[in-house]
């Protein structure tokens, strides 16, 4: 691992894992790719939860239930329509996709991740252990506890669109747009080279030029003028991204 790590703890139950996490400078890990790349010197103890979570992927007519240990590559291999397509873009290295887990992707909250941006718009349910079992929406989760399962409404995935803009297809996106239709509402997430994902919920009947203009103006505030382009250029990309994503629904 790295020089500041003193101990790797392997708990035998969720209760013991949570107890160990209470100690200072301790973190949970499954795949561990984000931890290894960051090598945070303030972290002294790693809590290996691989024996507590699973990598199952259960498909039914209405739901998709994924164990938090499932890797990004497993999502790709399962060909779960849009979810699998976005999973490929989250990292173009198959080796990293084989290590990085969906639970870790959610826990990391990496705003530059295609998959996490898409999940913000989908807002699936999380089965959390703290240590008792609890089901909440992803956007409600406050980082307490361990993600055990991710529960998707299949209709949400089937009614979603995603667009990304990057200098090369294999390069990280500097701007991403995800749109999910949920009943009579549209959930919109805009991210990229930003510090925070812009999220917006709107009524489907309200989708017109005026509301689109407001969404563009509000979301572009999260971006800076840089070598990827001007603010006006990024406004045009957000507009194009939303329109294309809506067209995929």
Query: pLDDT tens digits, residue range 78-110?
Result: 888 899 999 998 888 888 898 889 999 999 899
pLDDT tier at 4 (50, 70, 90 boundaries)? confident
How far apart, in whole angstroms, are the C-alpha atoms of residue 175 and residue 161? 14
Half-sphere exposure of 102 (CA within 13 A, CB side): 33
How far apart, in whole angstroms, are the C-alpha atoms of residue 108 and residue 105? 5
**Phi, then psi, of 229 in degrees rounded to 5:** 145, 170
How far apart, in whole angstroms, are the C-alpha atoms of residue 187 and residue 151? 17
The mean of the pLDDT values for the chain is: 90
Q: What is the mean pLDDT of residues 237-249?
A: 95
pLDDT tier at 20 (50, 70, 90 boundaries)? confident
Q: What is the pLDDT of residue 199?
A: 96
pLDDT tier at 166 (50, 70, 90 boundaries)? very high
Distance of CA 56 to the CA centre of its chain: 18
pLDDT tier at 122 (50, 70, 90 boundaries)? very high
pTM of the shown model: 0.91
State the DSSP code for 169: T
């Amino acid at each position: 691992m790295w020089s500041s790590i003193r101990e790797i703890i392997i708990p035998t139950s969720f209760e013991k894992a949570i107890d160990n996490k209470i100690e200072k400078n301790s973190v949970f890990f499954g795949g561990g790719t984000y931890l290894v790349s960051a090598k945070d010197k303030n972290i002294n103890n790693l809590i290996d939860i691989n024996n507590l979570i699973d990598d199952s992927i259960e498909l039914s007519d209405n739901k998709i239930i994924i164990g938090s240990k499932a890797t990004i590559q497993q999502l790709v291999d399962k060909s779960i329509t849009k979810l699998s397509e976005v999973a490929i873009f989250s990292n173009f290295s198959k080796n990293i996709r084989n290590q990085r887990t969906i639970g870790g992707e959610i826990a990391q909250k990496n705003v530059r991740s295609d998959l996490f941006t898409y999940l913000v718009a989908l807002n699936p349910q999380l089965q959390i252990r703290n240590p008792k079992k609890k089901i909440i929406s992803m956007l409600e989760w406050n980082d307490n506890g361990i993600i055990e399962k991710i529960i998707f409404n299949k209709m949400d995935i089937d009614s979603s669109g995603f667009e990304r803009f990057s200098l090369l297809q294999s390069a990280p996106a500097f701007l991403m747009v995800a749109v999910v239709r949920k009943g009579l509402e549209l959930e919109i997430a805009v991210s990229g080279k930003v510090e925070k994902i812009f999220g917006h919920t709107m009524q489907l009947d309200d989708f017109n030029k005026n509301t689109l203009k407001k969404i563009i103006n509000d979301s572009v505030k999260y971006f800076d003028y840089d070598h990827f382009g001007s603010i006006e250029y990024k406004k045009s990309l957000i507009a194009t991204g939303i329109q294309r994503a809506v067209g995929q629904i």
